[in-house]
Amino acid sequence: MKLVEGTVAVDDVDAFVAEIDEVAAATGATVQVFDARYVVSERHLERAVELADRAFDRGENVARERAVEILLYAAGRRQITDALELGVSAGENRVVVLVDAAETPSTSEERAAASIRDRVLDDVEATLGDYDTERVREYFDVGDAELDVVDGDLEALVLERVALLVVEK
C-alpha cells in the first residue's frame, strides 16, 4: 500500500472519479481518495484494506469493487452513501490517496502513485495526520467519556470503529 498526499480542486466530482478510475484501470491498482480531514493515521487505512480484503476472501463483502469496500471499512459504515462523506467533494480538497495492488504491488503501486501525482493532484504536500479532530469525533460518534477512557487516543477509537464494522453485519 502506498499513500499519496496533496491537494486537488474538484470542479466535477463525477469527472474526478472517472479520472481516478482511469488510473486504476491503466495500472491494475486499487485507488481510493479520502478527505484528509477524516483520516487519523496510516494505520487507519491499512486496517481498512486488511478488513476489506478479508471480507472479499470470505465472500462477505458489501461492495462489488475493492476500492468501495475499503472506503466502507475506513468509514466504519455499511451504507455507501454514508461512507462517501470520507471522499472528495466539489471545491478545494486536502486528500490522502490510497494506492494498493495485491497482485503486483511494487510495479503497479509505483505507476499508479506517479500517475496520481502527475495527473490528479494540484500540489503534493503532507496531509496525513492533519485531520479535523471535531469532525472525526462527530463522524465516528466519539464522546468525551469514551475518549477519556482511552486517554485521548482518538486513533484507537477510530480503529475500533473500523474493526467493529465486521461485527455489525
If one compares 71 and 147, the residue with the highest pLDDT of the two is 71
Query: 155 with 41: CB under 8 angstroms?
Result: yes
CATH 3.30.2380.10 fits 2-167, yes or no: yes
Percent of the chain with pLDDT over 70: 96
- Say how many Å lie between the first and final Cα of the chain, rounded: 26
pLDDT computed for residue 146 by the predictor: 87
pTM: 0.92
Q: What is the mean pLDDT of the chain?
A: 92
Region for residue 28 given its phi and psi (left: phi exceeds 0; alpha: psi -120 to 50; beta: otherwise): left
Going by pLDDT thresholds of 50, 70 and 90, the confidence category of residue 167 is low
Backbone angles phi, psi at 23, to 5 degrees: -60, -45
Going by the DSSP 8-state scheme, the letter that residue 12 receives in this structure is: -
What would the pLDDT profile of 10-60 be if each residue is shown by its tens digit?
999 999 999 999 999 999 999 999 999 999 999 999 999 999 999 999 999
Buried b (16+ CB within 10 A) or exposed e, 113-143: bebbeeebbeeeeebbeebeeeebbebbebe
